[in-house]
A and B are shown apart, each in its own frame.
Chain A
Amino acid sequence: MRVWLAHLIFLPLAAWALITVLDFRAASNVVLWLVAAVIVHDLIIWPLYSVADRAGRLALPGPRINYIRVPAALSLLLLVVFWSTIRGKGAGTYTRVSGLEWDGYGTRWLLVTAALFAISAVVYGVRSRTGRQPAL
């Protein structure tokens, strides 16, 4: 009952928003992007990082993998989320509206990646030396 009432209250609201947005410019493009959002995560992003993680675990069994896994994931997260600035995707628009050049993001990402692995290495070194189990 609870499940059905929840759906009967809120699905019509969602349907209203989806139907209303169809009145605007490039509406089919909105639908395409909504469908692509699920496909991109469930059938591209998740399988890719799962396969990469599996390969990493085969090469480095046990919790030691985390000293690679965590900095690698944080670096990739920065790359994906700031893809537009790092790759200069918005550079044309940005320069036109702000009057500034868009530069240095890609090289900064490389330095941040190096720093993330360096922090991981320091934590690994300290934990190994103090005899604390090198696990998370």
Chain B
Amino acid sequence: MKAPPGPFQPGFFRSPIRGPWLTGVLGLILLVLTAIVALTGFLSHIAYMPDLPGNAIVPADKDFPFTFDWPTSPTYLYAINQSLHTNVGLMVIPFLLAKLWSVIPKLFQWPPVNGPTQAIERLSIALLVSSSVFQLATGVMNAQYWYPFKFNFVVAHYYGAIVFVAAIAIHVIVKMPIVFRARRDREWMKPIQADMDEPTISRRGLIAFAGAGAGVLLLGNVGQSIGGPLRKTALFAPRRDSGFPVNKTAAAAGITPEMTGASYQLVLRVGDRVTAFTREDLLALPQHTATLPIACVEGWTTTQEWTGVKLSELARRAGAPDASQVLVESLQEGGVLRRASLSADQIAAGDAMLALKVNGADLSPDHGYPARVIVPALPGVHNTKWVGEMTFTA
């Protein structure tokens, strides 16, 4: 069968810099970057502690049983994790574009397959390209609050990540020998192919070009992960305009002044035992102050000084001094993430508290008035705001 015209014809691709050395170097860079992004992604999944009641977004019977108690120290652990996940994820994009450019002639090889080995390899390459672009596109859209898709982002991004990891594992096993061979044969010393066009950029120049792309994307976003005065340098990040961003406003959560007014009571439960506190009661308990970050899964961070009642104190007053877990529920009447469970370690952590004040003033309605959870190194949305009930398990 004759090759179709255009890119299927030999001699169609004219750049002399394509070859195993360029593709191999871009591949190694991508391997390191995507390993960081995938690892931090799966760690974030574990940080949500899906085995505690109400925490799982992907049901346990459709998930791997790989979890561990997420630590509460250092306090910025989750902030670092998500800063790496989102910012390194952005840096992947230009290197992936360069890598795909370097191998695009293979897409148009003729005949399309030379036997079963190549057929299955092309299938796994299709999965790799598809899942890479899918993960980057959905991640970028989620961090920018754009939801043009109908599926649940968390669910699709999680299973998409598993497809990606499987596909890249195959790719590394199949292609790594070519990378080693290019190194052994000193491919970079060889002249570029002479029968093609004059190059307009060197191989190193192209890698630097992709690196510059990674640099501008990083500079456009990383300020919101660092916070402080550098927040304003994040020219294209959504969370650059406020030093103390709000993830969800009281209005968006359906919290009304009546719910948080004079009739407000915090209800603590242990089995059948019920204890209730007004906000004045809570302010009369021993107060603790700590400077802790809130770190969003989307990669932005803010560090503030919180004052409130230690969770261990509340556990003791509720009648469960050695509580193994607590389910914290917001006054919100609906919506995902209106409740979250905390582990024994998180209740016992020295700085873990039900905050009543921030930076010396009462919490604002948008920051969770009358009371909100703050636990070191906890994913942002698990620091439940407008806390109405806490059910301890002794």
Contacts and interface: CB of A to CB of B under 8 A. Distances in A.
Interface of A: 2-4, 6-7, 9-11, 13-14, 16-18, 20-21, 23-27, 29-30, 33-35, 37-38, 40-42, 45-46, 57, 62-63, 65-66, 69-70, 73-74, 77-78, 81-82, 84-86, 89-91, 93-94, 96-100, 102, 105, 108-109, 112, 116, 136
A2 B146 contact: no
Contact of B93 (A11, A26, A34, A81): A81
Contacts of B62: 20, 23
A112 to B, nearest CB: 6
Interface in B102-131: 104, 107, 117, 120-121, 123-124, 126-127, 129-131
A14 B127 contact: yes
A46 B213 contact: no
Interface centre among A66, A85, A91 (most CB of B within 10 A): A85
Given A18-B159, A25-B150, A84-B144, 10 more contacts: A3-B174, A4-B120, A14-B166, A18-B163, A35-B130, A37-B134, A70-B209, A85-B238, A98-B242, A100-B246
Contacts of B246: 97-100
Given A74-B212, A97-B248, A136-B205, A17 B238 contact: no
B134 A33 contact: yes
A65 B124 CA distance: 36
Nearest to A98: B246
A29 B198 CA distance: 44
Nearest to B13: A50
A14 to B, nearest CB: 4
Interface string B208-252: 110011001100100000000000000111110110011111011
Interface residues of B, number: 75
A102 B90 CA distance: 21
B101 A46 contact: yes
A1 B1 CA distance: 30
Contact of B249 (A4, A63, A90, A98): A98
7 contacts: A3-B173, A17-B166, A57-B200, A62-B200, A84-B141, A93-B146, A100-B242
Interface string B173-190: 110000000000000000
Contacts, number: 205
Contacts of B29: none
A122 B46 CA distance: 48
Contact of A82 (B144, B151, B162, B200): B144
A34 B121 contact: no
B55 to A, nearest CB: 17
Interface of B: 62, 90, 93-94, 97, 100-101, 104, 107, 117, 120-121, 123-124, 126-127, 129-134, 137-138, 140-141, 144-152, 155-156, 159-160, 162-163, 165-167, 169-170, 173-174, 198, 200-202, 205, 208-209, 212-213, 216-217, 220, 235-239, 241-242, 245-249, 251-252, 366
Given A6-B174, A38-B130, A90-B144, A78 B366 contact: no
Nearest to B215: A74
A10 B130 contact: no
Nearest to A65: B200
A65 B125 CA distance: 32
Given A29-B149, A90-B145, A81 B162 contact: no
Contact of A3 (B121, B145, B366): B121
Nearest to A38: B130
Contact of B173 (A6, A38, A57, A99): A6
Given A25-B152, A84-B146, A108-B236, A100 B241 contact: yes
B366 A105 contact: no
Contacts of B251: 96, 99
Contact of B90 (A30, A45, A81, A136): A81
Given A18-B163, A40-B133, A136-B208, A81 B140 contact: yes
A20 B144 contact: no
A10 B200 contact: no
Contacts of B174: 2-3, 6
Nearest to A40: B133
Contacts of A21: 155-156, 159-160
A66 B201 contact: yes
Contact of A96 (B132, B236, B241, B249): B249
